[in-house]
A and B are shown apart, each in its own frame.
Chain A
């Protein structure tokens, strides 16, 4: 299957990656090639096969539903590109 430019543009927008026309053009054949490569999976008979999500035989343990972490907002904010009064700052969203 080959992806057209509009589809690549849509995927870039879903992935929140800005791409110039030139980049979209460059990405188009590369993505088409990879998608074409993985499409060989369609040949495999997977009737009655359950999808595998957890590869090893361990049952994840549930922990008690209690607060067991936190209380260090300063550490959380340490790497923030912009912060003020204990909050992350983002560009204005509502007028």
Chain B
């Protein structure tokens, strides 16, 4: 039998049903892996005691025939989801020691289905970043290394801890959030699959807000099917979030038929950006050929406002962030500076509590929303956002899904791209447009570059059509046959 930590969620569920192993054994194997890989710094808070307790209850439920859809599956939770009684930090000093007294809807749904929580994963502070280097709790290290080179690489961001934990086989799946690419880009950098559903598919209640019109919860796992299983559990209407959709949740995994005959896949010509590495162009071309060989037709489509997506995003996201993060004032929760004057207390609390990138974005957002600039920046960006959204809707009149690269590069070294915020922002050039349009998107590992680092392909679908996204992604997964494992996992002696 293979190691328990090698299993997919789907196969682990079968193993649990067949009594090949117990949920407690499965949890323990992952708790051991978590200890083994602690140098990756993937977790801010580890919760092995909770995991074992949940696993014990899971074994009892399974014994009495009451097992839920994810019963006994060990997961990691991005530390942006509030978890009742367990510290939730958003990777910020300002929330150090914050213990929510309630459970986010997404985590509650996972627990209702029997999932087991191993811990809370590291991220960029308030999910602002593309390299997981802005966390107050330190950088996350990508389990992958360049061949013959021990330099630490970033796992991408913002959900870097979740992606690293899944890639290093510390957990079977993890939650993430995606505002401009924070699931898809780290999935690509870590050689795993990550899915951002349609905006409104999952409730945002109890998820710490960054940019409310963009934030959406999603999933990480090592197969497309596992992502489909997790997403089904997490999705659904929630009266506590008026932007969560009152739509029935399909059995996403049932869409994985492998049959894409007659589907039309759009290839957006504006994504052929200058300076794209040859390896990524070549991988994209292979992806097109895979889909054609499976019976789909590919056509070139145009998304003419793509070029303006990043600028639009870097007005809207900071503007909403500056408003959302106004709540951190040292009064109700979190860090508080010891000052006798109220304004001093506010200003110094926030100066001490927020890191550099968060301050920068709050400042940009405050500027964009300030009197005299609101129309020129925020309203203008919202108008361009409509044009970007319309580009996609027009494209979807001619095709069923889009295929693009996920990111313009493979994982880079920690500290690279830090000299210039714009350079860092360019990481999200292929993921931000779909976020602005609220569309479902998935990244599937499809190959490696010359340095042996994983590269992802992205499938983007129509609003609410996650099923086609999963279906097409499943075909890419089958034909890519991505069987690489990070060196960090390979190098460690197996017991």
The chain A residues found within 8 Å of chain B, CB to CB, are 3, 8, 11-19, 27, 30-31, 33-35, 37-44, 46, 49-58, 60-61, 63, 72, 75-76, 78-82, 88, 90-93
Contact = CB atoms under 8 A, between A and B. Distances in A.
A56 B243 CA distance: 9
B471 to A, nearest CB: 21
The dominant DSSP class at the B interface is helix
Contacts of A75: 101-102
Nearest to B322: A15
A53 B308 contact: no
B485 interface: no
A38 to B, nearest CB: 4
B333 A80 contact: yes
Contacts of B278: none
Nearest to B98: A79
A31 B333 contact: no
B213 A55 contact: yes
A70 B367 CA distance: 36
Given A52-B386, A54-B213, A88-B332, A17 B351 contact: yes
Contacts of A79: 97-99, 101, 332-334
A61 B101 contact: no
A83 to B, nearest CB: 9
Interface string B112-149: 00000000000000000000000000000000000000
Contact of A37 (B329, B382, B387, B422): B422
Interface centre among B314, B384, B422 (most CB of A within 10 A): B384
Contacts of A53: 213, 382
B223 interface: no
A18 B350 contact: yes
Interface residues of B, number: 73
B346 interface: yes
B99 A78 contact: yes
Q: Shortest 9 CB-CB distances between A and B: which pairs? A: A51-B382, A55-B438, A81-B336, A79-B333, A52-B386, A18-B347, A60-B242, A46-B383, A75-B101
A21 to B, nearest CB: 13
A41 B389 contact: no
A30 to B, nearest CB: 6
Contact of B246 (A51, A55, A58, A80): A58
B436 interface: yes
Interface string B326-345: 10011111111001111111
B174 interface: no
A44 B387 contact: yes
B239 A34 contact: no
Contacts of B367: 3, 11, 31, 35
Interface in B340-392: 340-348, 350-351, 354, 359-360, 362-364, 366-368, 370, 376-377, 379-387, 389
Nearest to B363: A11
Contacts of A17: 347, 350-351, 354, 359, 362-363
Interface string B211-237: 001000000000000000000000000
B199 interface: yes
Given A34-B314, A52-B383, A44 B370 contact: no
Nearest to A44: B384
A82 to B, nearest CB: 7
Given A35-B364, A49-B383, A92-B342, 13 more contacts: A8-B363, A17-B350, A17-B362, A18-B347, A41-B311, A44-B380, A46-B384, A54-B213, A55-B436, A56-B198, A56-B199, A79-B101, A90-B342
B454 interface: no
B323 to A, nearest CB: 11
A35 B367 CA distance: 9
A37 B269 CA distance: 23
A11 B365 CA distance: 9
B415 interface: no
Contacts of B368: 38
A15 B326 CA distance: 8
Contacts of A13: 347
B421 interface: yes
B437 interface: yes
Nearest to A43: B308
Interface string B376-414: 110111111111010000000000000000000000000
A72 B366 CA distance: 34
B311 A37 contact: yes
B312 interface: yes
B387 A90 contact: no
B421 A33 contact: yes
B245 interface: yes
B363 A42 contact: no
B167 interface: no
Given A15-B322, A17-B351, A80-B333, A49 B243 contact: no
A57 B242 contact: no
12 contacts: A8-B363, A15-B362, A33-B421, A34-B421, A38-B312, A41-B312, A51-B386, A52-B386, A55-B389, A56-B199, A75-B102, A79-B98
